[in-house]
Amino acid sequence: MVPTTRAMRARADASADRLPRDALSDALLRLPAREICRLRAVCRPWRALTSDPAFVRAHAAAHPGPLFVAKFRDDPAHVYVIDAGGTVLKRVAGADGGVHVLRTRLDLACLATDWNRCRVLNPATGALQVLPQSSAPQHKNRVNLSNPYTFFALGLVASTGEYKVFRMFNRLGFLLGGEQLFEVLTINDSSGAADSCWRAMPMPSLFIEASTGGVVGSVVYFFVNRGYNPVTLYSDAGARSDYILSFDLEREEWRSGLAGPIGEEIDSGEDFQSKRYRFALAELKGSLVLVYKRRQKSIFVMDLWFLMDFENGLWEK
């Protein structure tokens, strides 16, 4: 309890004088910043100690805040690591032609290009792991690989602590026999050490739209692409514009399809990029969220649909 009377402060001052400064400093360094602010009122010696620049630096080092990886519009050639206050801590060179910072809330960050270059960054240490560009042995000589257009996603398998990178070679060369190819590579720990070879994954029954990909935990979610294989797409639930397929990185397999909550409101000839509607997938508070934006008379309205139960397809707005 913080002393509130002059007599209590006097007794606290006397007690503080008996405690070695190093021992007091070591004890206070273990407390969060909010408690330190309160304890400054205990006595003058405590205030002097906790206001000392050396103590402030040591406390900041012992209690690091969240780090962010960002790109700035006026510098497409680099990626920046910044703290919660906006201070730039590191600058990392990007790949030729620009790099995407994948959306995650993990201890590692994924930096990728559309043209099959991917690196994993540890923001805390600055360590950068370049992932192999060569495909899984099973995909050698596929038509997609002659001019690869790729999508990457990074997820964390909570049960093992392993990070896994998901890679998709998109459908370039489709008319010549090209397919959407899928691979996974394991990053064994937070240091960024990675396996040396990608593993081929099975293909889902429907084409997916890579630009809609979003990660929640160890699952990657996509809307289906309605522009290919119309016989298959329009003969089952995949015809819905908000139909979702997902890949489980822990089990390394595709899950059953999921019907979104707004399919009946969308005309059958429109999709997630129509002029009247916009919807996207995102992670919020550990849940998959379908963001639905639409014009209502003269204004735009946006709904957030949270996935509450995957097995039963239950959503909550």
- pLDDT tens digits, 280-317: 999 998 999 999 988 777 888 999 999 999 999 999 99
Q: What gap in Å lies between CA 202 and CA 128, rounded to an integer? A: 29
Indicate whether 261 pLDDT > 80: yes
Give the list of residues 6+ apart from residue 234 with CB closer than 8 angstroms, or none.
Answer: none
The whole-number pLDDT of residue 240 equals 75
Mean pLDDT on 51-68: 82
| Average pLDDT for 153-158 | 94
Question: Confidence band (pLDDT; 50, 70, 90) for 182?
Answer: very high
For residues 35-47, give the mean pLDDT.
83
Q: What is the pLDDT of residue 268?
A: 55
Is 60 exceeded by the pLDDT of residue 72? yes
Instruction: Give me the amino acid identity at 246.
Output: S
Q: Which has more pLDDT, 314 or 126?
A: 314
What pLDDT sits at residue 289? 97
Q: Which residue has the higher pLDDT, 103 or 176?
A: 103
Q: How confident is the model at residue 266 (pLDDT cuts 50, 70, 90)?
A: low
pLDDT at 237: 43
The amino acid sitting at 137 is P
Q: What is the mean pLDDT of residues 34-39?
A: 79
Higher pLDDT, 208 or 1: 208
Decide if pLDDT at 236 tops 50: no
Sequence-separated (6 or more) residues with CB below 8 Å from residue 185: 131, 132, 164, 165, 167, 194, 195, 197, 198, 199
Beta strand pairing call for 128-130 and 100-101: unpaired
Give the per-residue pLDDT at 1. Answer: 46
Q: Is the pLDDT of residue 213 over 90?
A: yes
Mutual angle of helices 6-18 and 44-51, in 10-degree steps: 60
pLDDT digits (tens, 9 = 90+) for 83-122: 877 888 888 887 666 788 988 888 899 999 888 899 999 8
248 or 104, which is more confident? 248
Distance CA 97, CA 114 (A): 9
Model pTM? 0.75
Q: Which residue has the tokens 């590692």?
A: 108
Residue 38 CB: number of other CB atoms within 10 A? 11
Alpha-carbon distance values, 119 to 62, 128, 147, 155, 261 (Å) = 28, 7, 20, 14, 35
At 291, which amino acid appears? V
Tokens 């990886």 sit on residue: 69
Q: In the prediction, which pLDDT does 233 show? A: 39
Instruction: With cut-offs at 50, 70 and 90, classify the pLDDT of residue 2.
Output: very low
